[in-house]
Each structure stands twice: as structure tokens, then as C-alpha cells.
Amino acid sequence: MPYSDKVMDHFTNPRNVGSLDKNALDVGTGIVGAPECGDVMKLQIQVDSDGRIVDAKFKTFGCGSAIAASSLATEWLKGRTVQQATELRNSDIANELSLPPVKIHCSVLAEDAVKAAIEDWKRKNARSDASTGQMEETKRT
């Protein structure tokens, strides 16, 4: 299967590989996918007090497109606010990487990973500040 130049670029030079301290309060961690299905993505964000994403890291078990999709997602997240990050759509990733139809699920997984990381960050920060009532809200989701 031929890969687009962008996929090859992210695959050969993945951006933001690594791990942040998953126990830190300002870090949100999303782990999605399943090894039996051939893809697992771990995506982490570090958020400052203004709600801006100051760092993002990933580790991915999966095919080249999955690795490229998560690399691109972390690149895109850095510098944005958490609010902006919730607007990331899998189609943005798929288009940017010119993913063929059989690889669309890789971009879906990347979107899920971003969402899961944001959820995790919100949950942690709601818990530390229960009086805001945010906790109730996130618990339901």
C-alpha cells in the first residue's frame, strides 16, 4: 500500500513521542484501542492554569497510519486551549494525512484518544475542586 508523504514524514520522524507523568494533576491521559485489534494509542496533554495545552505526548502500537495520526494530533494540540482541542475532528486528521478509506479508523482512534485525554484532565481537576460542581457533570459522561 503506498503511503502519503505526510504519513511517511510523521512515521519516520514522529513528533512528541514519550510519556508525561500520568499522576500529575495537570496531565490528562487517554488510552484507546485494544491490542487484539492491532491498535493502542496513549495520548497525554499537559494543561496550564489558563486551560492551554503546553505539552502533548504519545505512544502508539499500531500501523504506520496510526502512528502518523497520533503524531499529527499531538503536534496540533500543542499551544491550543482545551476548548479548541475538543473541536479536533478525525476528518481533519484523515484529510491532512490523505488516509485511504481502510485507514480512516486510525484517525478516529486519534480523535478518541484526544477526547479521552481531555476527559481525564477534566475529571482530575474537577475532583480537586469539587465545589465548582464540574465533577457531577463529568461523572455522568
Partner 1 sequence: MALKLPIYLDHNATTPLDKRVLEAMMPYLTTDFGNAASRNHAFGWKAEAAVENAREQTAGLIGATAKDIVFTSGATESNNLAIKGAAEMYREKGNHIITDLIEHKAVIDPCKRLEQAGFQVTWLKPDRFGVVSAEQVAEAVTDKTILISIMAANNEIGTLNPVAAIGAVAKQRGVLFHCDATQAVGKIPMDVEAMGIDLMSLSAHKIYGPKGIGCLYVRRKGPRVRLTCQMDGGGHERGMRSGTLNVPGIVGLGAACVICRCEMADEAPRLTGLRDRLHQTIAAGLDYVFLNGHPTQRLPNTVNLSFAYVEGEALMMKMKDVAVSSGSACTSASLEPSYVLRAIGVSDELAHSSIRFGVGRFTTGEEVDYAAAAVVRGVNELRELSPLYEQARENRRSQAKA
> Catalytic residue among 47, 72, 106, 114, which?
106
CA–CA separation, 41 and 80 (whole Å): 21
Can you give the binding site for partner 1, defined by CB under 8 A?
1, 3, 8, 11, 14, 17, 19, 31, 35-42, 59-64, 66-67, 102, 105
Q: Which is nearer to partner 1, 36 or 50 (CB)?
A: 36
Q: Phi and psi dihedrals of 25, rounded to 5?
A: -65, -30
**106 tagged catalytic:** yes
To partner 1, the closest distance from the beta carbon of 134 in angstroms equals 28
> Catalytic residue among 24, 37, 102, 130, which?
37
Q: Which is nearer to partner 1, 14 or 125 (CB)?
A: 14
To partner 1, the closest distance from the beta carbon of 60 in angstroms equals 6
**37 tagged catalytic:** yes
Q: Which is nearer to partner 1, 60 or 90 (CB)?
A: 60
To partner 1, the closest distance from the beta carbon of 14 in angstroms equals 6
